Amino acid sequence: MTGLRWGILATGLIARLFTNDLRTAGLNPVAVGSRSPESAQRFADEFGIPRAHGSYAALMDDPDVDIIYVATPHPGHAENAIAAIEAGKHVLVEKPFTLNAREAAAVRDAAARQGVLVMEAMWSRYLPHMVRVRELVTGGALGDVRALSADHTQRITDDPLHRLNALELGGGALLDLGIYPVSFAWDVLGEPETIIASARTGLTGADSEVATVFTHAGGALSTTLSSARAAGPNIATIIGTEARIDIDRVWYNATSFRLIAPDGTVLEDFASRVEGRGMQYQALGAERLVAEGNLRGDILTIDETVAIMGTLDEIRRQIGVTYPGEE
């Protein structure tokens, strides 16, 4: 194996999916760290990882690790990322990058001081169909882009004890699900100039449904809908004066889309062919950036990540969701 030597911080489901995709792509996970030595060893055994560390600090201190994937719960992202950065590691932080823009800026600034890469693991941006969508939009195939819509809606749970409904764990539909369509709107249309948000909250005060309307440069509109209580179509559409793009279910996973003219003619029919879930593409992106010496990023820059967290902060302000310690 070549490239960077990966350390996996935490051993939950998302870490398992990511590590499986690292293996699929021939990348090199060399160590895993958990608060439980037993959990770390089980994870290492499952994925053929040479070293299992019984603490996060031990993983960060491992001299044979070049880059750490942070897969801890939301409230730990900033602290864990900064600790890894201060240990001299490059860092890929699972989304949401942090709880808020203040924390995100602190992580960005720590990486700048240390001269390492820090990158948000918004893996959908790196998928082949999203790369092609971006090419079509920037190349003018849609003409003047007028509107975008996307939903991320799942029937998960209304259990008040589940982490998704726990404010102390950064719970709520917005940070777990809504971040996908919000980031998508940013990717296609740029920073929102105005933000309107509405939500329904559950018994714990965490948001269960969130809807947004943004305006962007030139007057383009985007709408997003997220829900943790009900499953919708999970599709996305970008509408331009010369064509539209319809992205199929599930739009934020590796999937297919069509470029369609106003008269209904299909101008392009794109189908993804991806091994695994597709999380390897963001890892390959991180390795490329490090090799190029580009520590700010390109497909999703660290400054854009911080700004997107600011958009999420404003949405939460409008819907009245505050996490402990933010008052």
Specify which residues 120 forms β-bridges with.
Answer: 93
Residue whose tokens read 């053929």: 48
Do residues 169 and 161 lie in contact, with contact meaning Cβ atoms separated by under 8 Å? no
Helix residue ranges per DSSP H, 93-213: 101-114, 128-138, 173, 179-189
Please state, in angstroms and rounded to a whole number, the distance separating the CA atoms of residues 117 and 3: 15
Catalytic: 95?
yes
Which among 305, 310, 303 is positioned nearest to 101, based on CA atoms? 310
DSSP 30-95: EEEE-SSHHHHHHHHHHHT-SEEESSHHHHHT-TT--EEEE-S-GGGHHHHHHHHHHTT-EEEEES
Residue of 5, 89, 90, 95 with catalytic role: 95
| Beta-carbon count within 10 A of 140 CB | 12
| Separation of alpha carbons 237 and 53, rounded Å | 44
Closest CA to 27 of 7, 6, 51: 6
The residues carrying an active-site annotation are: 95
